[in-house]
C-alpha cells in the first residue's frame, strides 16, 4: 500500500485488478478528472477519460498518478491519458514534466523499459483493390523479410564501433548506410537523431543484447500492419497528411529491443540505491529517480537518448525491408515503391522541451510513458509542410482492430505538455488473456474477417487478442473530446505481422 494517508482512505479500492472508485476524484469536465493534492503530493493528479473509461481503469492507476505527483520538481500536474493502465512506477499512459532548476528528477520508471517504442506510418499510393489479389502473397513475403518474435535476430551484425555510431546517429545512421533517404528524416521526431546520446553510458551487456537485433520487430504488442483507411474525420488535415478513404498505409510498431530493456533495468537499480543520498523519499521503489543535474541523472539521460536512437534506427531499417517487399510485388504498378513516411512518433521517452508555465517559457524534462508527443499547429519542431495541421499522432489499436491517425492541437499544448494517448491500453493481463483465448483460434477468427495474421508464436497471439484491450475508438474519442489531439482518420488492418 501507499506511504501516505489520502484525503479519502481508499483501503482495498486501490488493489491491482479492481476498478476505479469515481468518488476519489473531482470531475473538472466531461473528460477530465482531478485528484486534489493530499499527503505528500506536490501537484494535482489529472486523468483524461470518459466516465466509462475511468470506471473500467485498474484502480492502481489512481495510486500511481498520485505517487508521481510526489516526485521533486514536478510541474503542473501528474497526468494520465485515456488509455492509462497499471505500469511499473508510472502508469502506462502517464505524463509528467520536471524542472531541473527546481530540483526536478529523471525517472527510469517514468520512461519505461522499451525505450522509444513507437509507431511510424508509411503511405503507399495503393488502393484496397490493388491489395486484394496479392494480400496472401504480401503477408508471406513480409513475414519472411521481417524477423519477429521473442529473441528474433536480423541479418545485420554490429561490431563495437558500428554499435556506437548507431547509438549516436539513430535513423540518420541507418539512412547513411542505405536504409532509406534524407526525406525520411524530416518526418521523424528529432530529425531522426536524438542529440545528447552517450554510447559510453550504455553497458556492454546492453550492447551485446542488441548486436544481432537491428531490423527486428520483437515480441509483445509489436507489429507491422498493412492497413486500409476507412474513415476521414478532418478532410483538411487528412489532405495535408496525404490520406483518403480507400488508401493503403503501412504501420510499424516497435522499439529499442533488448538494449532499451537492459538500460531500464540497470538504471532503475542504480537509482533506487542512490535516491536516499539525494534526499529523495520514494513513495514507491518503482519510481526510482535521480536529480536531472546529478551525475547519475546525466548518465541515464545519455544512455536513454542512445536507446531512442536505437529505436529510430530499428524502425528505419524495418521501413527499408518493407519497401523492398513492396518493390518486389508491385514493381510494375508501383515503380517508385518508395512508400514515403507520413511520420514517426515515439512513446516511452524523456525529452527536453519548452513549455509555458505560469506565463513563462520554461525548459522542462517531459516524461511520456506509454504516451505520445502531440505538438499543436505552428510548433517549430514540425516539418514545414505539416506545421499548419499539427503533428501527426499515430494511435495503434490491438491486433485485428482499428488504429487511428490524429493531429496535435493548440489546446493540448496547454493542458498536458502537448501529449496524447498511444494506443488502446490493456484491459487485462497477458496471463488473463491466455486463459481466455487460443492463438490459433484468434488467427482463424480474424482470417474470417479478412485479416491475415502471421506470427511465430501462437501464445503471443493469444496474449495480444483484441479482447484483451480496451476499445480503441473510445480511447481516441476521449482524447479528441478532451482536446489532447484531433481525430483525423481511422484505419483497419488487412495484414498483421505479429511479434
Domains by residue range for the chain, with CATH: 118-498 (3.90.1860.10)
Strands (E), 213-273: 223-232, 247-254
Q: In the numeric block, which cell numbers belong to residue 151?
A: 529473441
Look-up of cell digits 509507431:
119
* Cβ atoms of 248 and 126 closer than 8 Å: yes
Q: Which residues pair with 228 in a beta bridge?
A: 248, 492
Distance separating alpha carbons of residues 326 and 338, to the nearest angstrom: 9
Pairing, β 223-232 against β 485-498: antiparallel
| Spatial CB neighbours of 11, under 8 Å, sequence gap ≥ 6 | none
Distance separating alpha carbons of residues 499 and 277, to the nearest angstrom: 41
Distance separating alpha carbons of residues 57 and 55, to the nearest angstrom: 6
pTM of the entire predicted model: 0.94
Question: Has 449 been annotated as catalytic?
Answer: no
Distance separating alpha carbons of residues 478 and 211, to the nearest angstrom: 41
Taking only the tens of pLDDT, the chain with its 499 residues reads: 223 233 333 433 333 457 899 999 999 999 999 999 999 999 999 999 999 999 999 899 999 999 999 999 999 999 999 999 999 999 999 999 999 999 999 999 999 999 999 999 999 999 999 999 999 999 999 999 998 877 777 889 999 999 999 999 999 999 999 999 999 999 999 999 999 999 999 999 999 999 999 999 988 889 999 999 999 999 999 999 999 999 999 999 999 999 999 999 999 999 999 999 999 999 999 999 999 999 999 999 999 999 999 999 999 999 999 999 999 998 765 554 579 999 999 999 999 999 999 999 999 999 999 999 999 999 999 999 999 999 999 999 888 889 999 999 999 999 999 999 998 877 788 888 888 888 889 888 888 999 999 988 888 888 888 888 878 999 999 999 999 999 999 999 999 998 7
Q: In the numeric block, which cell numbers belong to residue 357?
A: 508555465
Q: Is 302 exposed, middle or buried (0-12, 13-18, 19+ CB in 10 A)?
A: middle
* Cβ atoms of 324 and 280 closer than 8 Å: no
Distance separating alpha carbons of residues 109 and 68, to the nearest angstrom: 10
212 phi and psi angles, rounded to 5 deg: -110, 10
Distance separating alpha carbons of residues 139 and 224, to the nearest angstrom: 10
Choice among 367, 379, 422, 431 that is catalytic? 422
Amino acid at each position: 500500500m501507499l506511504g501516505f494517508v489520502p484525503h479519502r482512505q481508499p483501503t482495498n479500492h486501490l488493489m491491482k485488478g479492481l476498478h476505479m472508485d469515481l468518488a476519489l476524484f473531482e470531475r473538472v469536465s466531461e473528460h477530465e478528472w482531478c485528484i486534489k493534492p493530499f499527503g505528500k503530493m506536490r501537484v494535482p493528479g489529472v486523468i483524461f477519460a470518459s466516465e466509462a473509461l475511468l470506471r473500467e481503469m485498474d484502480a492502481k492507476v489512481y495510486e500511481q498518478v498520485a505517487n508521481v505527483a510526489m516526485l521533486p520538481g514536478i510541474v503542473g500536474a501528474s497526468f494520465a491519458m485515456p488509455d492509462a493502465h497499471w505500469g511499473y512506477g508510472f502508469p502506462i499512459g502517464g505524463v509528467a514534466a520536471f524542472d531541473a532548476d527546481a530540483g526536478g528528477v529523471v525517472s527510469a520508471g517514468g520512461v519505461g523499459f522499451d525505450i522509444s517504442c513507437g509507431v511510424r506510418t508509411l503511405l503507399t499510393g495503393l488502393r484496397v483493390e490493388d491489395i486484394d489479389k496479392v494480400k496472401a502473397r504480401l503477408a508471406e513475403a513480409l513475414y519472411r523479410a521481417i524477423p519477429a518474435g521473442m529473441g528474433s535476430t536480423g541479418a545485420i551484425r554490429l561490431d563495437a564501433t558500428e554499435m556506437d555510431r548507431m547509438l549516436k546517429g539513430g535513423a540518420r545512421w541507418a539512412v547513411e548506410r542505405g536504409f532509406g533517404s534524407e526525406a525520411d528524416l524530416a518526418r521523424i521526431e528529432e530529425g531522426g537523431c536524438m542529440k545528447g546520446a552517450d554510447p559510453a553510458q550504455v553497458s556492454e551487456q546492453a550492447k551485446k543484447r542488441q548486436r544481432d537485433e537491428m531490423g527486428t520487430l520483437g515480441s509483445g504488442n509489436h507489429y507491422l500492419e498493412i492497413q486500409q483507411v476507412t474513415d476521414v474525420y478532418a478532410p483538411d488535415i487528412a489532405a495535408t497528411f496525404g490520406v483518403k478513404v480507400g488508401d493503403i498505409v503501412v504501420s510499424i510498431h516497435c522499439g529499442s529491443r533488448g538494449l532499451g530493456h537492459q538500460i531500464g533495468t540497470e538504471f532503475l537499480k542504480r537509482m533506487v540505491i542512490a535516491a536516499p543520498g539525494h534526499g529523495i523519499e520514494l513513495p514507491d521503489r518503482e519510481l526510482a529517480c535521480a536529480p536531472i543535474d546529478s551525475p547519475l541523472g546525466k548518465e541515464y539521460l545519455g544512455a536513454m537518448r542512445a536507446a531512442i536512437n536505437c529505436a529510430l534506427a530499428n524502425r528505419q531499417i524495418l521501413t527499408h525491408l518493407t519497401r523492398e517487399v513492396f518493390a518486389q510485388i508491385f514493381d510494375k504498378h508501383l515503380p517508385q515503391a518508395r512508400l514515403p513516411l507520413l511520420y514517426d512518433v515515439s512513446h516511452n521517452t524523456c525529452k527536453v522541451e519548452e513549455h509555458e508555465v505560469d506565463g513563462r517559457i520554461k525548459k522542462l524534462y517531459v516524461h511520456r510513458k506509454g504516451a505520445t508527443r502531440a505538438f499543436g499547429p505552428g510548433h517549430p519542431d514540425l516539418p514545414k509542410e505539416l506545421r499548419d495541421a499539427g503533428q501527426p499522432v499515430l494511435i495503434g489499436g490491438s491486433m485485428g482492430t482499428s488504429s487511428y491517425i490524429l493531429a496535435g492541437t493548440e489546446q493540448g499544448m496547454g493542458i498536458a505538455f502537448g501529449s496524447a494517448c498511444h494506443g488502446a491500453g490493456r484491459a487485462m493481463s497477458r496471463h488473463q488473456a491466455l486463459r481466455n483465448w487460443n492463438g490459433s483460434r484468434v488467427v482463424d477468427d480474424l482470417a474470417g474477417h479478412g485479416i491475415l495474421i502471421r506470427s511465430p508464436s501462437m501464445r503471443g497471439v493469444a496474449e495480444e487478442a483484441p479482447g484483451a484491450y480496451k476499445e480503441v475508438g473510445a480511447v481516441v474519442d476521449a482524447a479528441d473530446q478532451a482536446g489532447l489531439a484531433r481525430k483525423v482518420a481511422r484505419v483497419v488492418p488487412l495484414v498483421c505481422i505479429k511479434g
